[in-house]
Structure 1
Amino acid sequence: MTNPLHLSAAEAAAAIRTRRLSPITLIDAVLDAIARTQSTLNAFVTVDDETARAAAREADAAVMRGDVLGPLHGVPFSVKDLTWTKGLRTTMGSALYREFVPEEDAVPVARLREAGAILIGKTTTPEFGHKPYTDSPVSGVSRNPWDLARTPGGSSGGAAAAVAAGLGPIALGTDGGGSVRIPAACCGVLGLKPTLGRVPHVHAPDGFGNNSYIGPITRTVADMRLMVAAMEGPDPRDPYAFALPTPPAPGALRIGWAPRVGNALLDPEVEALTAAAMRQLGGTVERVEIDLASEEEAFLVILQSSLAGRFGSRLTQDRHLFDPSFVEAIEHGLGRSASEILAATQRRTVLFRQIVALFGRIDVLATPTISAPAPATGLDPFAAFSVGNGAGEAGHIRATWYPYTFPFNLTGHPALSIPCGRTTAGLPVALQLVGRWHEDNLLLDLAARMEEVRPWAQDWPPHAA
């Protein structure tokens, strides 16, 4: 049989159902691979070997008994360390929560377990997911399996690095401004920010003003479909998680192509690879001129004021425990006025209506996911970011590197990052597709089309397990 680490979740589940693969063998292989790569990739902050192996033995017994099996029976999955896992510590990347053990699972974690998947551990995150690359006071620096000198992105960097390196075929991340899509793009895997409410998020600090999403990271479209099907659906504790409508399928596909969205710079290789991938989607293409980079200030006001509301009172006592860049974000938030915060939330509505109007004339918006490949580790999120191997003009990292991602956290639209090639230096590049609310499946259909014509899942990074 193929190396079990190279099986997709769909392939592994099928092999387990037909008794060609034991869940015990699969879980052992993944846990051994994590142990081998932890010193280099540092993708995990907690590995639950004992519980995972016990679950694998029970999963194997269920197969032998002829029990009814879930669609992900025996398949290992990991969870970003911002998302609650019952009985397994959830540090949030913060020394404050180093020993926090939730008493319940987040809804998508519980639903994946119900589908038969086996939780193997928690992946690394920056403190409370506050920056787009992954290092924290709890776990240190995580690295990209394509190039250990580079970041896997963030804030779901550990999750994306794990999937890219074969440390489990599927993972859960969270996305508060691109935090699933950015690391997926950096590591050459798929990452979906679902429509707001499609995957319930009952532990969000502000249910009604939420702009953070729990989303899947996978190597294949089929695996992403399995994860979404297992996780989606209403939950009364999330005000946006109601019964999902079934949108009509579009006729002739209309693609809006926006290689720049108010950002001055775009890496030439990124532009060429994403444009070529976009043209292979089929349909008609319209060049779209839209300024999303200018929404950075509203996004920052909402993000920083939220962090200040949650943690501002802790600065005097616990400043020494926090990541310095996290302290800086809180302090910016404490300086925001009530009128600034209200204006930013109103701006969110203006942007939403602008995007809805855009989707009156197109079916899908296509952009690069990030403007340049993964940078080196150790960057200051408040320092200037450059595009084009350091030769480009520097600007704020959100408006310069990922102006394509954070606006759709504000509007709630589904957005999918799809691998679409590598640079001459061998670094992954990704195309982002954005759809109307609840048209997540259309994005996955288009990703499947691209997967057929330019497959990526068979490409393994040099530092894979």
Structure 2
Amino acid sequence: MSDTDLLFTPAAKATALIRDRKLSPVEYVDVLLKAIDRAQPKLNCFRVVMAEEARRDAKKAEEAVTRGEKLGPLHGIPVSIKDLVDVKGVPTRHGSAIFEDNVAQADDVLVQRLRAAGAIVVGKATTPEFGVKGLTDGPSFGITRNPWNLDRTSGGSSGGGAAAVAAGLGPISLGTDGAGSIRGPASCSGLVGLKPTLGAVPADTTRDAFGNNVFAGPLSRTITDAAIMHSVLVGPSDKDPWSLSGPSQQPLSPKLAGRDLSGVRIGYIELTANPRIAADVRTNTRASLAAWEAMGAVVEEVTEKIDWIEYEGRVLYQANFAVFCAQYLPKWQNQMDPVTLAFMDRGRQFTLADFRNAQFARTALFRKIQSLLARYDFLVTPTNARTALDVTHDAANDEVIIDGVKCGITRQGWTSYQYPFNLTGHPALALPSGFGADGLPTSVQIVGKWGAETDVLRLGALFEDAQPWAQHRPSM
């Protein structure tokens, strides 16, 4: 196997080769670190590369194989960790100059679980300041670029991990998703990205545990790798109340066991809060639906009016930044991302009544989605309304252009399909649907019932089998 083929080998296959002693974790990590050295100057997708620690852990992984020890499902697999998540002994900078020297004293519970499964942490992936926007750049680290086109964004806020996986710099990455921050980068970068059900994967460090809308999950090139990584992350934590009584992972629905989807009903939603969808995204999304229809599924367009609470969601999002970042302004304002500052300024304008009404609207949207999922097994939407934006796009002020028409800021005109399911808590999976007219990836989103990640992943796997995508590789 060539080094390039190894870099694009799925985690499931790589760990099988390691178990069979056909692949050395030490050699694997060495090839990967050399690839990171070559790609990092172009992509800027890592905030920290943990070369010494990765080589140490790879040696331990190889010794475990030699001793015949019981091996975890990700044994010897390199993983990058978003720079919002603690890795012991390494700074968690949150994409900000404010936390330049914030060395983590312990691994986050999710990093603990990945290590227990045998994964090898190779570095911290870039994120915009506090994960504030759908592009990955910032004054403290520069611009993270998309390996499919270096002038375009890899999305945000898990853009570093997405760029890394898309470029073959590790088969999996741990992302977080507060308003689409796993699914948006997956869409931009031609990847699989899973936002789990609220409570399925613990969020130990979220500031508002009871009102949480931030989720952690995998970025990968295949459905199988996403499913394996998700299975490692799930389970309760004493620090997350939703996880303590959260939804158990439901078993696979019997009607999804084979390739005949005759009993499956899919509700298709073409527009949410966005006024337009790009023609190439529409074409590829409808082709995805046609693939499931060819397997026997019934696809019905949802035409009823739905309040997607874009304004109320913006109230919740921007007011949170206004409150928790206020403490940093006296010392750090001149070094903060202008987008963070703009969102804070807008958030300060909202009233307490605005905030409480937004919380009520969140409940109403949840109940509306529940009613739709009483009629349908899945909801399907595009993931983004167009392909990746230019890296120069100002997320606070620039309008998204679709087919020559201005469509509002990113959450209004581009990522509009994503944030609603952070607010409702339903599992949502982004997966590649093809390529746009500009040669960049497009993506389709599958939304399922609470706790039905297995069903969502299965529907995605059937599409992956019908229309494979992992063989496509960017040429930088």
TM-score between both structures, scaled by the size of structure 1 = 0.97
2:310 alignment partner in structure 1: 296
> Partner of 1:117 in structure 2?
119
Report deviation, 1:335: 2.2
Judged with a 3 Å threshold, the aligned counterparts in structure 2 of structure 1 residues 292 and 112 are, in CA distance, closer, same or farther, namely farther
Relative distance call for 1:245 and 1:184 in structure 2 (3 A) is closer
| Matched residue, 2:330 | 316
| Structure 2 CA distance for aligned equivalents of residues 108 and 64 of structure 1 | 27
CA contact (8 A) 2:273 2:310 kept: no
1:427 aligns with 2:440: yes
Query: 2 CA distance for matches of 1:235 and 1:91?
Result: 24
Does residue 249 (structure 1) correspond to residue 260 (structure 2)? The answer is no
Q: Secondary structure at the match of 2:250?
A: coil
Distance in 1 (CA, whole Å) between partners of 2:303 and 2:183 is 22
The number of residue pairs the alignment matches comes to 462
Deviation, 1:331, is: 1.7
The residue type paired with residue 274 of structure 1 is: T
CA drift of 1:46 comes to 0.4
Equivalent residue in structure 2 for 1:334, among 341, 348, 356: 348
Is residue 2:381 matched to residue 1:367?
yes
Distance 2:84 2:220 in 1: 18
Gaps of 5+ in 2: 256-262
Letter in 2 for 1:235: S
Tell me, what secondary structure is at the counterpart of 2:374? coil
Counterpart for residue 292 of structure 2: 281
What secondary structure, in the 3-state scheme, does the structure 1 residue paired with 2:156 have?
Answer: coil
Counterpart in the other structure of 1:268: 279
Percent of paired sites with the same residue: 43
Cα distance change, pair 135–432 in 1 and its aligned pair in 2 (3 A):
same
CA contact (8 A) 1:175 1:181 kept: yes
Equivalent-residue separation in structure 2 for 1:118 and 1:232 (angstroms) = 19
Please report how far the alpha carbon of residue 375 of structure 1 lies from its aligned counterpart in structure 2 after TM superposition: 1.2
Deviations 1:190-240 (A, max 9, x none): 001000111111001110011011110000111111101111011121111
1:31 aligns with 2:26: no
Structure 2 partner of 1:99: 101
Are 2:467 and 1:454 aligned?
yes
Deviation of 1:325 (Å): 1.1
Deviations 1:270-308 (A, max 9, x none): 000011112212410111135567411111111111112
What residue identity is the alignment partner of 1:182? G
Change (3 A) 1:114 1:381: same
Provide closer, same or farther for how the CA distance between residues 326 and 36 of structure 1 changes in structure 2, counting only shifts above 3 A.
Answer: same
Aligned twin of 1:438: 451
User: Distance in 1 between the 2:308 and 2:117 partners?
Assistant: 42
Offset, 1:454 = 0.4
Secondary structure at the counterpart of residue 36 of structure 2: helix
Equivalent position of 2:431 in the other structure: 418
Instruction: Map 1:32-47 to 2 at 5 A.
Output: 32-47=34-49
The aligned counterpart of 1:403 is: 416
- Alignment of structure 1 residues 149-188 onto 2, 5 Å: 149-188=151-190
Structure 2 distance, partners of 1:194, 1:306, is: 22
Alignment counterpart, residue 202 of structure 1, candidates 192, 204, 207: 204
Call closer, same or farther: CA 1:293–1:124 in 2, change over 3 Å.
Answer: farther
How far apart are 1:27 and its partner, in Å?
Answer: 0.5
Q: Deviations over 1:297-342 (max 9, x none)?
A: 1111111111122111321222112111111111222222111111
RMSD of aligned Cα (Å): 1.4
Structure 2 CA distance, aligned partners of 1:192 and 1:179? 10
Contact preservation (8 Å) 1:261, 1:289: no
1:135 CA displacement: 0.2
Supply the AA of the counterpart residue of 1:429: T
Deviation at 1:245, TM superposition (A): 5.1
How far is the alpha carbon of 1:67 from its aligned partner?
A: 1.2
Distance 1:248 1:116 in 2: 26
Aligned partners of 1:115 and 1:230 also within 8 Å: yes
The residue type equivalent to 1:313 in the other structure is: Q
**2:251–2:454 contact (8 Å) kept in structure 1:** no
